[in-house]
Amino acid sequence: MGGNLVEVAIFLEINPFVKIMTLFNTIEKMIPRRFRYPIKVFVLRLFVRINFLNQRKLFQSKLTRLIKYADAEKVFDDFCTVNSPYWEKLDRLESSPVILVEGFLAEYGPNYLMRTGIITKALEKVSDARPVILLVHGTKEEPYKRKLYESFKVFECVGIYDDIYARLTVLKKILIGILTRFYFHYSEFLFLFGRGESFIKLSFRGIQIGDMLYDEMIKECQKGKYTVRYIVRDHYYLFKKTFVYFFALDELCRKFNIKYYVSTHSQYITYGLLLRYFYHKDIVCIETTDDQVFIHNELFVPRYHMAMHKMIADQLPAILQNEDLLQQAKSELESRFAGKIEQIDAQLAYGGKQIYTKQDLKLKINIQNDNPIVFIFAHIFSDTPRGSSENLLFMDFYQWLLETLRHVRTIKNVNWIVKPHPSVKPYNEEGKVEEVVHKFKGKNSSIYVCPSDFSTAGLIGSADAITTCQGTVGLEYSCVGIPTVLAGSPFYSGFGFTSEPKSKKEYFDVLGDVGCLKPLSLDQIKTALAVYMGFKNVFSTDYTFIDTVLKSRVWGHDEEPDALGAYALMMDRLKKNDPKKSLLYDTIINSFSKKEN
């Protein structure tokens, strides 16, 4: 039990602890199992209270971290004990093709581990391939990820940095440095001369990287700023990571005959570059979100909204001809508006909120006229503005809101109500939309902030139109006839029931006349309902292991993120349910047994 902690302690350079825990490991088998963990934690807490020379604060900080590692180790040990009996190790030759599995997030939530693990074991069962877990660093720095996947009887791991990059030739590392500097300084030039869109289209070896770099800059480097105006030194390491990944992936493809790649995301350099790289190599790429599975073997660039659009379009003709399915779509919408579905964003938007009448809403935010009401649905600024879809009319979600408000503040014959996204908390963006609104809200302003207790269901009867880049709200309220103006290309665009400007000028022109937009026709509403039904069909309906309760623990919507608590919850569910009987396992078995045969 102490082996992993010794590895962590060596990594943290805590020499006294290494000696003590090495001794503990030698006598561990002599101690009854139920006493091992309490004794270890007692020793750790004792160490925290000891002053070692002049490094007390540093040492205490390191030991406090080790106590957290000890807690994690016990939870992960218990999880592995519960999960392991469900799985068996299948014999494969070393020359067998490989199922490469992105294992970057295993420690951060059982949702990531279970879905990638289940898909991997299903693929292993129906194919001749052997699974290999891909880590960022390697097993020395990420021992728990290795251990968690071993509970699926997957024992082979490879690290991008420790096992691949560290073994690159000096010449290749020099080439990485040259490419990093060239692309970094070229990007500086693009932003200096206002050519941000050219940066978004930046590519290397035919693979677009600019959009993913942009999203990762906002996520990792901006420190509360949600748009990129200039390339700065803090961005340099992202360019280097990009080319480290390219050359490391080259080596992986030489080392392994990769047949399948399993991923948790298609965005950011950290995840999306791998997916695009392997897709470019004609490797079958399987992306699994918490609710969906995308098999990227037909799309030019794997993107969330593009994948969703195609899957819905394939279903649409059959749904349009089926009145029962259209009625089901209406029933599903009613449940969504009541906050009674298994989707966190919808529960936060509708559940426990007040449904305002139009008059009550006007009274609440002090609207004293009868002008049309248009809702502006803001996005989470840092949540992949460029990588998840195409054709965004603005550089990012922040610029979209900023420029939209700058334009509409002069349109006084419309009341503009800005609605922050319901899931801002996990992204640390609480209050950020309100800050932007207050920049443009003057004495006689027609711009308002939506009440925080407002249920989005209150749009029915209140909204004359809405505008968003790619929010699902645009689909939901098209189903009840409310016109939507898009500033991007979400999965529900292109079906004929949304207004889709092709440029900023056209977008602003539409907003100028938005009060004159007519409610959707019956045919448009029918199409919107069919698209909504297709959207629902794409989502998993199996919540045996992963539901909104577990995801909330992982992401921290209602409370602080608690990955260990989520693992404890997953253990309870595993004790009662066999993951090989899950819908996800059956879906992969059924999909790929046909392809393999």
Which residue, 516, 538, 560, sits at the end of a domain?
538
Indicate the SS3 state at residue 491: coil
The tens digit of pLDDT for each residue in 287-334 reads 998 778 888 765 545 677 888 888 899 999 999 999 999 999 999 898
Q: Classify residue 144 by its DSSP letter.
A: H
Please enumerate in sequence order all residues whose Cβ is within 8 A of that of 448, keeping only pairs 6 or more positions apart, or say none. 365, 366, 367, 415, 416, 417, 418, 441
The tens digit of pLDDT for each residue in 355-389 reads 999 999 999 999 999 999 999 999 999 999 998 87
- Quick one: which H or E segment has residue 114? helix 110-126
Q: What is the pLDDT of residue 202?
A: 97
- Confidence band for 29, pLDDT divided at 50, 70 and 90: low
Which residue, 39, 64, 85, sits at the end of a domain?
85
Q: Is residue 327 part of a domain?
A: yes
Q: What CA–CA distances, in Å, run from 138 to 135, 162, 239, 360, 590?
A: 6, 6, 21, 58, 33
Q: Is residue 144 part of a domain?
A: no
Distance CA 140, CA 131 (A): 19
Beta bridge partners of 381: none
Q: Is residue 385 part of a domain?
A: yes
- In total, how many domains does the chain have? 2
CB-CB contact of 159 with 137 (8 Å): yes
Phi and psi, residue 309, nearest 5°: -60, -45
- Confidence band for 168, pLDDT divided at 50, 70 and 90: very high
CB-CB contact of 155 with 88 (8 Å): no
Which residue, 517, 538, 559, sits at the end of a domain?
538
Q: Is residue 373 part of a domain?
A: yes
Scan for tokens 């040990």, then name that residue. 77
The tens digit of pLDDT for each residue in 209-236 reads 999 999 999 988 767 789 999 999 999 9
Structure-block tokens of residue 339: 């906050």
Please enumerate in sequence order all residues whose Cβ is within 8 A of that of 502, keeping only pairs 6 or more positions apart, or say none. none
- Quick one: which H or E segment has residue 467? strand 465-468
b/e sequence 438-460, b meaning 16+ C-beta within 10 Å: eebbeeebbbbbbbeebbbbbbe
Q: What is the pLDDT of residue 42?
A: 66
Distance CA 469, CA 591 (A): 33
Q: Which CATH number covers residue 459?
A: 3.40.50.2000
User: According to DSSP H, which parts of 321-388 are helical?
Assistant: 323-337, 344-350, 358-365
Scan for tokens 């029931």, then name that residue. 497
Side chain identity at 333, as an amino acid letter? L
Phi and psi, residue 101, nearest 5°: -120, 120
Q: Is residue 312 part of a domain?
A: no
Q: Sign of the C-alpha dihedral, residues 269, 271, 276, 277? A: positive
Q: What is the pLDDT of residue 325?
A: 95
State yes or no: pLDDT of 337 exceeds 50. Answer: yes
Mean pLDDT along residues 431-446: 90
Q: Is residue 16 part of a domain?
A: yes
Closest to 165 (Cα-Cα) out of 97, 241, 84, 248: 248
Entry pTM: 0.85
- Quick one: which H or E segment has residue 262? strand 258-263
Write out the residue range of the structural domain in which residue 452 sits: 319-538
Task: Tell me how crowded residue 535 is: count the other CB atoms within 10 A of its CB.
Answer: 21
- Confidence band for 45, pLDDT divided at 50, 70 and 90: low
Phi and psi, residue 480, nearest 5°: -115, 15
Q: Is residue 126 part of a domain?
A: no
What's the CA dihedral at 295, 299, 305, 311 to 10 degrees? -60
Indicate the SS3 state at residue 225: coil
User: 355 — alpha (psi -120 to 50), left (phi > 0) or beta?
Assistant: beta
Distance CA 366, CA 358 (A): 12
| Chain Cα centroid distance, residue 78 | 27
| Chain Cα centroid distance, residue 48 | 37
Q: Is residue 199 part of a domain?
A: no
